[in-house]
Structure 1
C-alpha cells in the first residue's frame, strides 16, 4: 500500500493542532506562569540581604588584667625534673623510692564506691590510712582519700587496686626527696588520669625527714584474695 505524498504533512499538522488546542494552550500557559513565579520568588530571595545584629553594648569598667597582655613574652616552663637544667647523665636508682601513696578520687556520684574500696583496703593491708578529703586538698583537685604503704606491698596492692578500683581514678606515686616530681612525673594511674596541681610543691623544710614517712594505722583482719 503506497502512502500519498502529503500523508506525513497531514499527520504533523494534526499533531501540532492538538498541542495548540485551546485547552492545551491554557495548561501550558498556566505551567509557564507558575514556573516564572517560582523563578521570580527565588530571585527575590537570593537578593535579600540579612540585617546585621546590633553590636552588644560594651560594659563599663576596665579589665583587671590591663590592655597589654598580648605583649607578654612566653615564659619557659620549669624543668621536667626540678633542678635539672640538662638531661641526667645516669638513671636514678630505684632505691630512691622509700614508700608509695595511693590516692582514690571520687565525687558525689561515686562516693559509695570510694567508701567500699577504703573499707576493703583497711581490712586487708597494713597501711597508713588518711582521712576523707571532701574538697580539693593539696595538689589534688577533686575529693579523695589516700593510704600510704611500704615498698614490700607494691607487688600486691597495685594489682589489687587494678582489679578493685570499681572504675574510679586512682593515682599511685612513689615517695622520694622530690614530691613535685613524685606527683607529676613518676606517677602510675589506674583507669583515667586527671590533672594534679603539684607545680607549687617543694621539698622538705630544714629539719624535716628527706622523704615522707609511712606509719601504718590499720589492723587488717582479712587475707587478700589470691
Structure 2
C-alpha cells in the first residue's frame, strides 16, 4: 500500500495542479486575448512581449523570479504568510502559481489567434442589431473561436502538467506535498530507481495522450 501511495501521490498532485492552473490560465488568456485581439494602443507590442516572455525564458529563471517575488522576504510573501499562516513557497499553491506563469503564454497565443480570425464585421453587425457585448461574445465570438479555445486549454493543461524547473525552484520536491510527476521522475532517476521512473513516465504519457486525443477528437 505504501508503494502505491508513493506512486499515486505525485500523479494526483500533478493532475490537481494542472486542472487548477489550466482553469486559471484559460480564464486569464480568454479575457486578455479578447482585449488584445481588438485593441490597438501605444506599447501594445511591449505588453504582448511581456505576456510571451515566460515561453522563451529558462524555467529556472522564471522560478528564481517567482522565488524573489513570493519568498518569505518579499512583500507579497509576508502578506500571504500573515493572512494564511504559512508561506507560499514550498507549498502546492506555489506549484500552481509556477504552472500558471509558464503555461499562460501558450494558452494566450493560441486563443488570441482564434479571436483574431473571427470576422469583426459579424460582431459589429450583431451590435448594430442591439446585441450586448456579452451576447456578441457568447453567441458570435466563442462559437467561431471554439477550436482555438479548446486548443488553448489543452496546451495550457499539458504545459502545466509537465512543468519542472520553475516548480522545483519555488515549490521544491517534498513527497506527498509538492512532488509532481516531473520532479518525482528526476529524483527516481537520480536515485537509480528506473522502474519507478518508468511508471511515472508512462503515467505522464498516458495523461498527455488522453488530453491530445480529446483535443483532436472534438476540434474537428
- Taking structure 1 as the reference length, what is the TM-score of the superposition? 0.21
- The structure whose residues are more often helix, as a share, is 2
- Taking structure 2 as the reference length, what is the TM-score of the superposition? 0.22
- Bigger relative contact order (CA 8 A; separation at least 6): 2
- The structure whose residues are more often strand, as a share, is 1
